[in-house]
């Protein structure tokens, strides 16, 4: 075991006036509540991007990468949970990712690196959730009012208002009922989307399928690493310490049960969405599968009522996803603006919370309206945020705290291999994603209604 600082190096008095810990990261949950939070953080509408990601890999590599990502992320989250439990046994229960990093890696540049990438992840997901929510509303609007005058940014504004309203729920733990509903919604709309794709694929409405990869080797390489970045973004969460912080102590073993629940849902939803969508549309798969099933100015490729139900459920779940990822920002805000000595609904805490959370969600909504790049946002966030947080740091932290012997390839060398492999994949994915972003920049205008 690693030598850790003594328990009193992080005394409870440090959190006495910490409103972020007292309110936002309130610790009262059970293991199934952690399962709800994890499922909402990982299983969401970005799974509609999976057929698009398969375009850069094809059938065999696509499913191999999907399965590898599932195995590595489960292993990674398991190790990170063990690191948190290890620290708790030594008298320090870390409730923030940056707090854990500062303890084990020092308070130098690594701390700022973790803070930066976690902020990028949470803001990026918040922007993407609002953007996709606006796009879902726009898809329904096109069907009801083909000549309507409302644009994408109008719907983004509507979704932002909804996010602002539910953002006033004060604590992460308070979202447990919403996140249980989110779990059910993800299963329901995945069933609807897969059914719609199968119905479309067995009809004569879709063009001939094409599963060929890019014509040149360089294009294939860039497309493959972009797809890997998208997988990383879809599987990532980057907030496991904050989710574990919602559990009532002691937390030993609780996160493992929550992870198992989450990955059962992942198996059902990810594979069915990827297989059905790519089977039908192949290389024509859009960054949002709904746009394939509901093409603009054309008849739907599946029953409209089925697609509308899927869109409605997706829209409702996006509200929960936006709230889960906003919790880190709220905790940072309220750590400084709140007063833990007064009630969570006292005027002293209520007014700053109302103002600051509203401003944060308004900023995310503005960015979503200004930069409608859903597929590319997904890949960039995956490369610069989720890969370091979910595929590299957990292995580093586990090796530091548990110090597995070098001779034990099952632990030490597997961890080193994952660190090296995904660090390289993250760097290449970052270049590929930024390259796509630059290329796609020619296809849009600010506040456009066309999502790339």
Is the CATH number of domain 35-443 3.40.50.920? no
Provide the pLDDT for residue 408: 62
Distances 368 to 42, 235, 377 between C-alpha atoms, Å: 20, 22, 10
Provide the pLDDT for residue 9: 38
Tell me the average pLDDT of the chain: 85
For residue 148, with 0-12 CB atoms within 10 Å meaning exposed, 13-18 middle and 19 or more buried, which class applies? exposed
| Orientation of helix 414-440 relative to helix 393-402, angle to 10° | 160
Confidence of residue 157 (pLDDT cuts 50, 70, 90): very high
**Lowest-confidence segment of 263-267, 268-272, 367-371 by average pLDDT:** 367-371
- Which backbone phi and psi does 285 adopt, to 5 degrees? -60, 130
Burial 327-345 (b: 16+ CB within 10 A, else e): bbbbbbbbbebbebeeebe
Provide the pLDDT for residue 15: 53
Provide the pLDDT for residue 6: 40
pLDDT (tens digit, 9 = 90+) per residue, 393-423?
A: 999 999 888 887 766 668 888 898 999 988 8
Provide the pLDDT for residue 384: 73
Confidence of residue 70 (pLDDT cuts 50, 70, 90): very high
Q: Report, as an integer, the average pLDDT of 426-442.
A: 73
Provide the pLDDT for residue 276: 94
C-alpha span between 285 and 53 (Å, rounded):
9
Closest by CA position to 5, among listed 116, 109, 112, 107 = 107
pLDDT (tens digit, 9 = 90+) per residue, 321-336?
A: 999 999 988 988 888 8
Residue 73: is its pLDDT beyond 60? yes
C-alpha span between 33 and 52 (Å, rounded):
32
Residue 16: Cβ within 10 Å count: 11
Q: Structural domain boundaries of the chain?
A: 35-443
Residue 162: Cβ within 10 Å count: 17
Distances 338 to 354, 355, 356 between C-alpha atoms, Å: 11, 12, 11
Return left, alpha or beta for 189; rule: phi > 0 is left, psi -120 to 50 is alpha, else beta.
Answer: alpha
C-alpha span between 52 and 218 (Å, rounded):
19
pLDDT (tens digit, 9 = 90+) per residue, 166-191?
A: 999 988 989 999 999 999 999 999 99
CB 301 within 8 A of CB 312: no
C-alpha span between 244 and 37 (Å, rounded):
9
Provide the pLDDT for residue 166: 92
Tokens of 120: 């990028």
CB 394 within 8 A of CB 105: no
The DSSP call for residue 108 is S
C-alpha span between 256 and 251 (Å, rounded):
10
Q: Report, as an integer, the average pLDDT of 66-76.
A: 93
Provide the pLDDT for residue 336: 84
SS3 content of the chain, % helix, strand, coil (to 5): 75, 0, 25
Handedness of CA 164, 166, 171, 175 (dihedral sign): negative
Peptide bond into 217 cis (omega under 30): no
Q: Report, as an integer, the average pLDDT of 17-42.
A: 88
Provide the pLDDT for residue 1: 39
Cα angle, residue 155 at apex, residues 147 and 43 outer, rounded to 5°:
120
C-alpha span between 110 and 106 (Å, rounded):
7
Q: Report, as an integer, the average pLDDT of 145-156.
A: 87
C-alpha span between 276 and 194 (Å, rounded):
6
C-alpha span between 12 and 39 (Å, rounded):
31
Cα angle, residue 123 at apex, residues 63 and 294 outer, rounded to 5°:
55
Residue 63: is its pLDDT beyond 90? yes
Residue 2: is its pLDDT beyond 70? no
Residue 201: is its pLDDT beyond 60? yes
Provide the pLDDT for residue 22: 80
Distances 299 to 190, 206, 314, 384 between C-alpha atoms, Å: 21, 11, 21, 39
C-alpha span between 61 and 171 (Å, rounded):
41
């Amino acid at each position: 075991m690693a030598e850790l600082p003594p328990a009193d190096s992080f005394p409870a008095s440090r959190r006495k006036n910490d409103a972020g810990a007292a309110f936002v990261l309130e610790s009262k949950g059970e293991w199934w509540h952690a399962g709800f939070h994890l499922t909402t953080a990982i299983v969401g509408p970005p799974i509609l991007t999976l057929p698009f990601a398969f375009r850069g890999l094809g059938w065999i590599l696509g499913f191999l990468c999907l399965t590898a990502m599932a195995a590595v992320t489960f292993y990674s989250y398991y190790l990170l949970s063990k690191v948190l439990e290890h620290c708790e046994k030594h008298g320090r229960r870390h409730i923030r990712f940056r707090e854990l990093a500062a303890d084990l890696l020092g308070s130098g540049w690594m701390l700022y690196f973790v803070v930066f990438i976690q902020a990028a992840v949470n803001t990026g997901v918040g922007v993407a959730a609002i953007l996709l929510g606006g796009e879902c509303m726009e898809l329904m609007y096109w069907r009801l009012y083909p000549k309507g005058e409302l644009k994408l940014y109008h719907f983004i504004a509507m979704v932002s208002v909804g996010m602002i309203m539910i953002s006033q729920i004060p604590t992460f733990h308070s979202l447990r009922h919403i996140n249980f509903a989110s779990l059910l919604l993800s299963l329901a709309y995945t069933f609807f989307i897969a059914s719609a794709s199968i119905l479309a694929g067995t009809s004569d409405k879709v063009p001939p399928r094409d599963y060929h990869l890019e014509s040149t080797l360089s294009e294939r390489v860039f497309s493959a690493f972009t797809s890997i970045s998208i997988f990383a973004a879809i599987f990532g969460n980057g907030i496991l310490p904050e989710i574990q912080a919602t559990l009532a102590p002691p937390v030993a073993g609780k996160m493992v049960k929550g992870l198992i629940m989450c990955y059962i849902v992942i198996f059902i939803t990810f594979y069915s969405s990827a297989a059905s969508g790519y089977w039908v549309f192949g290389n024509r798969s859009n960054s949002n599968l709904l746009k394939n099933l509901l093409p603009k100015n054309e008849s739907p490729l599946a029953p409209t009522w089925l697609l509308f139900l899927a869109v409605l459920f997706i829209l409702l779940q996006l509200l929960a996803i936006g709230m889960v990822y906003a919790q880190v920002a709220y905790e940072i805000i309220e750590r400084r603006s709140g007063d833990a000595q007064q009630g969570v609904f006292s005027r002293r805490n209520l007014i700053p919370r109302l103002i600051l959370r509203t401003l944060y969600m308004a900023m995310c909504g503005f960015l979503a309206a200004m930069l409608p790049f859903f597929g590319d946002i997904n890949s960039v966030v995956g490369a610069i945020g989720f890969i370091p947080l979910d595929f590299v740091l957990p292995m580093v932290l586990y090796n530091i705290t548990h110090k597995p012997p070098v001779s034990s390839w099952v632990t030490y060398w597997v961890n080193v291999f994952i660190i090296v492999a995904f660090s390289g994949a993250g760097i290449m994915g970052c270049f590929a994603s930024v390259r796509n972003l630059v290329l796609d920049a020619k296809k849009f205008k600010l506040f456009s209604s066309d999502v790339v």
